[in-house]
């Protein structure tokens, strides 16, 4: 049986990892097996920080060879260390799963002994979970940079999702802050996984596909000087060239004292704005260039869609009853769901503001950018529009920043497996 204290140490070390989604895989159960995956993902609990628990998120070990500047588990740090065996992890996963505590396992590790040895044990764990424990629930496993590609492929056949973390938004910052890792050691395996996924798709492989839920990555924001524009460009390139499912951002918190790191944190608002921009790129048909120029940062005052709309008032107001879906998606305050509802509903008759309100379309921001049957209820003064949009953002930034302000007491935002 697993030791309570070990579980605590290895959970504490993993908790800052931002990805915990269990979506994207429709793995089915087998005779004699336990579990399956739900394509939409399932949240099993929520912690007091408002985040969801979907997977059992732990490190195999937090004993690390590397000395990444920002990481609390770096070799030179004085923190309690622990390591779990593959069987301990399997047993815990199975027993949590049977009680419906979790949707599956998110396994990661600090680099102990050697990259190959670490990857080998991660691989052994997930393969054992599938073959010996006959577990068919969701598995997300971290790839260890500089480890053998055969091990990576073995893990990819057992897992639903894998991720190699890009860590920092530029090669220069990586060299400065995580000198034992290199751009190539991260991008090469990502490319390898992409090619394996492509191979399965092209050859219509049905059984035993590699990572059906694809790959994701994660990077730290604000520990290095890159602008939001650069970060988003990189994000877009990763989506396009690597077919990533998600790029996660993790805002930097200054805990580790170092002259190579900034003294102040990036703040949750910056992270939030980047996610908003990321959503616009993936679901709303925006190009990065429209949202943020290469060397600029996103506005703190307005969300990126509002900021874009204010700069492009010539496109507005749009008529709700006739505007194409692509344009409805660009209206501040109307989300993907709202735009879909409007498109469906207007087939049955003309919509007025009352209809929109009943359909639960929030008009507070949208009213400045739309007409219904030619009627306009927004403000004609751009200054007034700006003021009303900004007021909201102002409130948001206050709460966001106050949540963040006591970061000095925080253990850290970043972990060894990043």
Partner 1 sequence: MKIFITDGGSYSFFTAVFDAYSERECVITSDENVQMSFGNEIVNVGTDFEKCARVQKKIAACDPSAVDDILIVLRSRDNLKEQAAFEYIKRLIEKKSPISRAFNLPEVIIFDELKHKVTGEVHKMTGFLRFMESDSGAFYAPYSPDNDITDLLMPHFAARFREERFVIHDIGRKIAGIYDGHEWIMSYAGEAEVYLSEYETVFRTLWKKYYRAVNIKERPHEKQMKGYMPVRYWKFLPEKKDG
Q: Which residues bind partner 1 (CB under 8 A)?
A: 1-2, 4, 7-8, 11-12, 14-16, 28-29, 31-36, 38, 40, 42-54, 56-57, 92, 95-96, 98-101, 103, 137, 268, 341, 344-349, 351, 355, 358-359, 403-404, 406-407, 409-411
Closest to partner 1 by CB, 268 vs 328, is: 268
The DSSP bridge pattern shows strands 215-221 and 246-251 to be parallel
Beta carbon nearer to partner 1, 314 or 409? 409
Closer by beta carbon to partner 1, 103 or else 167: 103
Comparing CB distances to partner 1, the nearer of 32 and 374 is 32
Q: Which is nearer to partner 1, 297 or 355 (CB)?
A: 355
Task: Report the DSSP pairing between strands 215-221 and 161-163.
Answer: parallel
Which of helix, strand or coil describes residue 63?
coil
Encode 18-50 in three state secondary structure.
CCCCCCCCCCCCCCCCECCCCCCCCCCEECCCC
Chain position carrying tokens 């994000």: 235
CB closer to partner 1 out of 65 and 411:
411
Tokens 């924001």 belong to: 221
Report whether 417 contacts 14 (CB < 8 A).
yes
In angstroms, give the least distance from the CB of 230 to partner 1: 26
In the complex, what is the shortest distance from the CB of residue 342 to partner 1, in angstroms, rounded to a whole number? Answer: 8
Q: How far is the CB of 399 from partner 1 (least distance, A)?
A: 9
Helix ranges (DSSP H) in 40-182: 86-98, 115-131, 149-158, 171-177
Distance CA 109, CA 271 (A): 24
Phi-psi region of 208 (alpha: psi -120 to 50; beta: other; left: phi over 0): left
CB of 119 to partner 1, least distance (A): 24
Preceding peptide of 238 cis, ω within 30°: no
Residue located via tokens 């920002």: 70
Q: How far is the CB of 282 from partner 1 (least distance, A)?
A: 22
DSSP secondary structure letters along 336-368: HHHHHHHHHHTTSS---HHHHHHTT--HHHHTT
Nearest residue (CB) to partner 1, 125 versus 230:
125
Least CB distance from residue 390 to partner 1, whole Å? 23
Coil/strand/helix, residue 113: coil
Shortest distance (Å) from residue 136 CB to partner 1 = 9
Q: Minimum Å distance from CB 233 to partner 1? A: 28
Return the number of the residue (357 or 382) whose C-beta is nearest partner 1: 357
Report CA 304 to chain centroid distance, whole Å.
18
For residue 10, report the phi and psi dihedrals to the nearest 5 degrees. Answer: -80, -20
């Amino acid at each position: 049986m697993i030791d309570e204290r070990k579980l605590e140490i290895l959970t504490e070390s993993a908790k800052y990892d931002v990805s915990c989604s269990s979506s994207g895989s429709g793995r089915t159960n087998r005779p004699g097996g336990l579990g399956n995956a739900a394509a939409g993902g399932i949240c099993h609990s929520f912690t007091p920080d408002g985040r969801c628990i979907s997977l059992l998120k732990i490190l195999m070990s937090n004993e690390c060879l590397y000395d990444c500047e920002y990481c609390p588990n770096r070799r030179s740090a004085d923190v309690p260390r622990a390591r779990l065996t593959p069987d301990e992890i399997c047993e815990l996963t199975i027993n949590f799963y049977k009680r419906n505590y979790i949707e599956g396992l998110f396994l990661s590790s600090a680099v102990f002994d050697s990259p190959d040895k670490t990857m080998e044990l991660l691989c052994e764990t997930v393969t054992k979970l599938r073959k010996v424990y006959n577990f068919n629930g969701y598995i997300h496993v971290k790839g260890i940079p500089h480890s053998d590609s055969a091990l990576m492929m073995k893990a990819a056949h057992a897992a639903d999702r894998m991720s190699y973390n890009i860590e920092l938004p530029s090669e220069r910052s990586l060299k400065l802050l995580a000198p034992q890792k290199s751009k190539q050691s991260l991008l090469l395996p990502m490319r390898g996984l992409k090619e394996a996924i492509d191979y399965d798709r092209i050859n219509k492989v049905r059984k035993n596909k590699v990572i059906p839920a694809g790959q994701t990555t994660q990077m730290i924001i604000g520990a290095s000087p890159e602008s939001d524009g650069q970060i988003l460009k990189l994000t877009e390139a990763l989506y396009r060239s690597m077919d990533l499912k998600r790029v996660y951002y993790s805002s930097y918190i200054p805990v580790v004292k170092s002259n190579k790191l900034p003294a102040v944190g990036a703040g949750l608002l910056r992270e939030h704005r980047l996610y908003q921009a990321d959503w616009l790129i993936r679901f709303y048909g925006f190009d990065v260039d429209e949202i943020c120029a290469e060397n600029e940062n996103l506005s703190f005052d307005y969300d990126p869609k509002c900021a874009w709309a204010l700069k492009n008032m010539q496109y507005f107001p749009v008529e709700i009853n006739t505007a194409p879906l692509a344009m409805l998606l660009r209206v501040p305050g109307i989300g993907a769901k709202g735009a879909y509802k409007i498109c469906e509903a207007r087939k049955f008759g003309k919509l007025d503001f009352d209809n929109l309100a009943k359909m639960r379309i929030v008009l507070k921001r949208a009213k400045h950018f739309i007409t219904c049957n030619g009627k306009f209820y927004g403000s004609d003064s751009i200054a007034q529009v700006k003021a009303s949009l900004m007021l909201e953002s102002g409130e948001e930034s206050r709460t966001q920043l106050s949540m963040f302000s006591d970061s000095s007491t925080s253990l850290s935002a970043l972990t060894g497996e990043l």
